[in-house]
Structure 1
Amino acid sequence: MLCVDRVPGIGRNRFRCGTDSSNVQHRGIGCILSNRNVRAAGMCNGGRNTYATYCNTRNSNSIQDAKNCINKLPSVTGLAWGWVNAPSGKCKCTADTFSEAKNNLFKGCSNSIEAERYEGNIGLCECLLRIEKEWSSGFQGTLLIPVTGTHNPWELEIRFNKSANIQASYGNLTNKINDQIFVYRQSSWNDYPKINTTFYFEFVADGDVKPSNIILVLFDRQPVNISLIIVPSLSIFPSKPINISTNNGTYDYGAVLYASILFYESQRSGRLPANKRISWRGDSMLQDCGENGEDLTGGYFIDGSSLEKISSRTAQFTSVLAWGVIDYEDAYVKAGQLEYVRDAIRWSTDYLIKAHVNEREFYERVGDEEFRKILIDDWSRPEDILISRPTLKIDLNKDNLFVPGEAAAALAAASIVFRLSDPVYHSKLLTHARQLYNLAKNNNRHLFFLPSKGGNALAWAALWLLRATGEQSYLLDAKQHYIEFELDEYTHTIYEEYIRTIGVQVLMAKIIKEQIYRTVVERTCNNVVHNMQTTEKGLAYIDAFSKLKSTADMAFFCLQAADIGINTQEYLNFTTSQIGYMLGDSGRSYVVGVGQNYPKKPRDRGSSCPALPATCNKQAYLNPNANPYLLVGALVNGPSFGDFFYDDRLESKTNQVSVENNAGFQSAVAGLLYHQLDLGK
């Protein structure tokens, strides 16, 4: 099933708008036939991706089934054409109208048909009709239409199958026919819709009508398909900050775990489960597809503002999150969070499996820098962004081999998490992990000149596969990678890319248990604990860009060193002090909604948007007040070296939130709870 089929809505048509280089909109419909089955599908070329859906008649050898499907499609005049690729050669039929194209194809190309396709300028776009309120005689709604071409000025037509009354504050009502057809045009004070943004039209319909009475919507005289969504009454969860103080002066680490997992749930993309706990989040980015229509929905937004999905970075945080669950599972059990954290990990690994579309191809990114800039200008809810996003697929034979290494590590680590609770899923994760690792290991080794270019990711993957399977081949590989890529490297200056190497060093000492690896870990952690520059209030200031993330990662790694008997109390004290700084020892909490004096304006779209039915736009981004919703559990980037923190949504250096930020932090908190409760005895 192609990903557009997954969009909920009215009727069976699901199309996206696309533009060619001259901004002339082309949309298409068609049927594909083969010797064994008949697939009738609507086609739409949008940007870099191709989407297909309409009707699907599988398990049939009948060409008539395809003809019947075509006959169901709208008969709209346009640039229609069809082509046939038959065993005896190609037959191409062109026409000025859609019906002529159908007739030509059926008359001239019906013998030995292998494939048929029609395309036409039929103007079918995906549109959301969001119902904010509904009563016995009417409803309040908003039409959300993706803008992928030039619209100067805009025109919107709404047709009902019975008499109705409409009130709208946007645009001018220029025509009304029989109280059933309403045409609105752009007012002089309205802005022109920008390309790659969403057009909003808010209205109230009355006169004993329901949303189902809308039979047609046209935008700039082109019909659009309507997907209906109904906004539930909100009970914002949670709406109050979480108290983490205890009677004995320590922190309630179990409550912090609860909060951090909630943050992960707030950053989910795709179709959300019915039991979602963040009521102000809804389904989003259901148009995420690969170059050939592969389903790339789901996964996590890598941060709260760009909404990008980056597989390598997703894999990095997932492996660290899984590590904490593996070693501190009893702490999650005591906190009542084990099932929730498993769900958080599965949400990530399900997406990584989707991204691994075949043995040799892997999608690294959905969204890019250009798309990020567009979104900043169109600050809106993830749920309101309807345009398709560019994707980056890598060839695992030659490109960016650190990506499959990171993905292999994450899937192998996660397989341990699910080994007992879901053996089938455990096996599936391991299968993908092995495939990705083998490709990373065997192809184009010359790319790995530095650990940060992939050598540490390759060792990271081998170690997690060793821990997941116990197979000695991975032990030999891990030792070889460790030597080949000089992963025992020591540096006084620790930076973000080097932290992955430290993770490798700790795993080597933990799994292989040889003194040579323990010595390297002790040297590295001693450097952080004794020599790292520290702020006046006690933060080990490791990296000026990633700030609290880097410190939390190091706190977790050194806690792992403590667990294997390396300077146990000293490293445990270090981790306690660094996590304590983030939770409030510094005079403020850096975790949203947790403790005292926490950040009120995290750089996050969903929580910064006003409650529906209000429109979310750049005014929400520039709003000087606190975010309307509490983004509970999000660890912000953090303060300057002077312990100064300016709570400002516009400042990514301080207020950026990211699923990466929370992974090492959450695993360190789980470890501290494990020690606090003496669960290792």
Structure 2
Amino acid sequence: MARKSLFLSRIIPAIRVLFLFLLISPRPISAGHDYVDALRKCILFFEGQRSGKLPPDQRVRWRRDSALHDGSTSGVDLTGGYYDAGDNVKFGFPMAFTTTLLSWSIIDFGRNMGPELKNAVKAVKWATDYLLKATAAPDVVFVQVGDAYSDHNCWERPEDMDTLRTVYKIDRAHPGSDVAGETAAALAAASIVFRSRDPAYSRLLLSRAVRVFEFADRHRGAYSGSLYHAVCPFYCDVNGYQDELLWGAAWLHKASRRRQYREYIVKNEVVLRAGDTINEFGWDNKHAGINILISKEVLMGKAEYFESFKQNADGFICSILPGISHPQVQYSPGGLIYKAGGSNMQHVTSLSFLLLAYSNYLSHANKVVPCGETSASPALLKTLAKRQVDYILGDNPMRMSYMVGYGARYPQRIHHRASSLPSVAAHPRSIGCKAGSRYFLSPNPNPNVLVGAVVGGPNVSDAFPDSRPLFQQSEPTTYINAPLVGLLAHFSAHS
């Protein structure tokens, strides 16, 4: 009996590991993917999302200048930046998160980007130039341009916008530690990107990050409390601002190496709930990202005082492994990570980015992740991340690439105003607020191909209707693409 128990204790973990590999092994659907082409298109997408005066080297030629007077009603210049998705509002919270993840992609995987590195850096700078404008005044952060309700009541090109371009801000009396903390993280992360490329600009980004973080920490509160009617339900913070304070401090520590941020993280780890919701990462919830980012220092043997963050990072990994995963994390029959709520692909790309980043950190430290009776090797994490990327690019039951313009079959009717309406070149006359409705409701493919856009994706059963009105599945966002840049860069060099 004892011998049988010993046998079972050894064989069951082995079976679980085999089960994991069977679940995440690539399906024999494609002969392989052109990750270099996908990377180029993934970065190109950001040019289609630009707001403001477009530069001479703009490659998405069907887009034109738009929102050239943003901020004028408040006496400030808030032109530039990105439209977050298929609408014409500039939401500061997801834009800052996009900037942080684009920067992290370059920091960790820029060496694999080849000639696309310069375009990735330009994508970051288009955002940081705007974020510097939005944080120019001390203790003030402009967090949104455009009234979301009037915008969502229309279907019109950004070049034709006649909806309200209301400006929203946080300040001492109306705090927003979440959006300010994320903005500080974005500026700090970007300062690393520009450290050797443009030292003066890098110093400006870092000094602004310091100031914005101090404001976020000193005047605590969620911005959806101060600006509820403007930001909810669109980018309402349901997770609280505590994680953004830790996230901002973590990036400031990485960018500046100042002891004060290390001490801040250690001192506030419990207060700001570093161990909460470990399997979440996105524009609203930074917990898994915090733990992975800080764990790198533990794995390098430089920061034993951050050991608890590594334990949290290991817990995150175990919570999303197929076969052992947390109830909040599902896998579709085709193998796609699925989390309930809108725009699932944002979870797929963000969580996969963390899997790949942690895999690299573990590899350099020659470590594995203990998950109960089994363990997850760096190779296993990388395989799981690659499986998600390959699913996006076409290895799925629909045989469809969810990146527009990549592969033989991809979404044709994405929920995106500029893509779905005739371009200014094709239709020079203005298309009014309600005049665009017929294009929105049309069954025809979008006239402008927004190359590189990754849509919200299929449902939990791997089904995708390719329908413009079903925005949860058909709308692209900048924060879906930002972490995918890093993933594609890695696999383009290590496929």
Give 3-state SS (helix, strand or coil) of 2:144's partner. strand
SS, match of residue 328 in structure 1: helix
Corresponding letter in the other structure for 2:134:
A
Residue correspondence of structure 1 range 121-200 to structure 2 within 5 A: none
More helix by percentage:
2
State the alpha-carbon separation in 2 of the partners of residues 451 and 298 from structure 1.
28
Q: Distance in 2 between matches of 1:393 and 1:498?
A: 18
Q: Which runs of 5+ in 1 are unaligned?
A: 1-247, 677-681
Q: Please give the per-residue CA displacement for 1:474-528, whole angstroms capped at 9, x wherever unaligned.
A: 111122232212211356x758577511001101101344443222212111110
Residue aligning to 2:34: 252
Contact 2:177 2:241 in 1 (8 A): yes
- 2:406 counterpart of 1:594: yes
Q: Specify the alignment match of 1:521 in structure 2.
A: 313
Out of 319, 342, 355, which is 2:134 matched to? 355
**Kindly tell me: are residues 605 and 445 of structure 1, through their superposed partners in 2, closer, same or farther at Cα, counting changes over 3 Å?**
closer
The residue aligned with 1:664 is 483
CA distance in 2, matches of 1:395, 1:464: 22
Deviation readout 1:76-109 (Å, 9 max, x if unpaired): xxxxxxxxxxxxxxxxxxxxxxxxxxxxxxxxxx
Task: Give unpaired runs (5+ residues) of structure 2.
Answer: 1-29, 226-236, 363-367, 369-376
Match of 2:149 among 345, 357, 370: 370
Post-superposition offset of 1:544? 3.2
Aligned-pair identity (%):
31
Distance 1:653 1:361, change over 3 A: same
1:556 equivalent to 2:353? Answer: yes
SS of corresponding position for 2:106: helix
Q: CA 1:327 to 1:517, structure 2 compared with 1: closer, same or farther past 3 Å?
A: same
* Contact 2:280-2:288 at 8 Å conserved across structures: no
| Structure-2 change in CA distance of 1:420 and 1:396 (3 Å) | farther
Contact 2:150 2:163 in 1 (8 A): no
Deviations 1:589-611 (A, max 9, x none): 11101113110111111121224
Q: What do residues 223-243 of structure 1 show as CA deviations (whole Å, max 9, x unaligned)?
A: xxxxxxxxxxxxxxxxxxxxx
Aligned to 2:415: 603
1:669 shift after superposition = 1.8
Moved more, 265-274 or 443-452: 443-452
Offset, 1:279: 0.9
- Whichever structure has more strand as a proportion of its residues is 1
Q: Secondary structure at the match of 1:458?
A: helix
Shift of 1:467: 0.9
1:627 CA drift (Å): 0.7
Instruction: Within 5 Å, give how 1:316-335 maps onto structure 2.
Output: 316-333=97-114
The 2-side partners of 1:396 and 1:345 are apart by 28
CA distance in 2, matches of 1:550, 1:386: 33
Closer, same or farther: CA 607–497 of 1 in aligned 2, 3 Å: closer
Q: Of the candidates 393, 405, 416, which is equivalent to residue 583 of structure 1?
A: 393
Q: Which residue of 1 aligns with 2:289?
A: 503
Aligned to 2:262: 475
Using the size of structure 1 for normalisation, the TM-score is 0.59
Q: CA deviation at 1:395?
A: 0.8
1:315 corresponds to? 96
Whether 2:492 is the aligned partner of 1:673: answer yes
Paired residues of 1:396 and 1:440 also in contact (CA < 8 A): no
* Partner SS, residue 47 of structure 2: helix
Deviates most, 647-656 or 285-294: 285-294
Aligned CA distance change for structure 1 residues 325 and 543 (closer, same or farther; 3 Å)? farther
Offset of 1:667 from its aligned partner?
A: 2.0
Indicate conservation of the 8 Å contact 2:414/2:468, yes or no.
yes
Within 5 Å, give how 1:75-474 maps onto structure 2: 249-304=31-86, 306-333=87-114, 336-375=115-154, 379-386=155-162, 388-396=164-172, 398-444=174-220, 452-474=239-261
Contact 2:157 2:418 in 1 (8 A): yes
Deviation string 1:331-366 (CA, Å, 9 cap, x unpaired) is 112xx1111111100000111111113011111111
Q: Which residue of 2 aligns with 1:627?
A: 446
Distance in 2 of aligned mates of 1:512 and 1:463: 13
Whether contact under 8 Å (2:147, 2:163) holds in the other structure is no
Counterpart contact for 2:281–2:288, Cα < 8 Å? no
* Inter-partner Cα distance in structure 2 for 1:562 and 1:659: 24
The offset of 1:432, in angstroms, is 0.8
Inter-partner Cα distance in structure 2 for 1:647 and 1:346: 33
Rounded Cα–Cα distance in structure 1 between residues aligned with 2:252 and 2:63:
35
2:357 matches 1:543: no
* Residue aligning to 1:640: 459
| Contact 1:413–1:468 under 8 Å retained in 2 | yes
User: What is the one-letter code of the residue matched to 2:113?
Assistant: Y
Amino acid at match of 1:551: V
| CA pair 301-498 structure 1, distance change in 2 beyond 3 A | closer
- Distance in 1 (CA, whole Å) between partners of 2:336 and 2:223 is 36
State the distance in 1 between where 2:44 and 2:97 align: 19
Verify the 8 A CA contact 1:357 1:363 in the aligned structure 2.
no
Question: What's the counterpart of residue 216 of structure 1?
Answer: none
Amino acid at match of 1:670: A
Aligned mates of 2:159, 2:224 — CA distance in 1: 40
Shift of 1:558: 1.2
* Worse overlay, 524-533 or 645-654: 524-533
The structure whose RCO (Cα within 8 Å, separation 6+) is larger is 2
Q: Secondary structure at the match of 1:318?
A: helix
The structure-2 alpha-carbon separation of the partners of 1:511 and 1:452, relative to structure 1 and needing over 3 Å to count, comes to farther
Please tell me whether Structure 1 or Structure 2 has the larger radius of gyration of its CA atoms: 1
Check the 8 A contact 1:637/1:653 in 2, yes or no.
yes
Amino acid at match of 2:104: W
SS at the partner of 2:65? coil
Query: Is residue 451–residue 486 contact of structure 1 (8 Å, CA) maintained in 2?
Result: no
**Aligned residues of 1:549 and 1:665 also touching (Cα < 8 A):** no
Aligned to 1:298, the other structure's residue is in SS state coil
In 2, the alpha carbon distance for the partners of 1:498 and 1:394 equals 17
**In the alignment, structure 1 residue 572 sits paired with structure 2 residue 379:** no
Query: In structure 2, do the counterparts of structure 1 residues 262 and 496 end up closer, same or farther at CA, with 3 Å as the change threshold?
Result: closer
Shift of 1:396: 4.1
Q: 1:501 and 1:271 mapped to 2: Cα distance?
A: 36
Deviation at 1:564, TM superposition (A): 1.2
Deviations 1:512-555 (A, max 9, x none): 44443222212111110131321111111123313111111000
Verify the 8 A CA contact 2:170 2:223 in the aligned structure 1: no
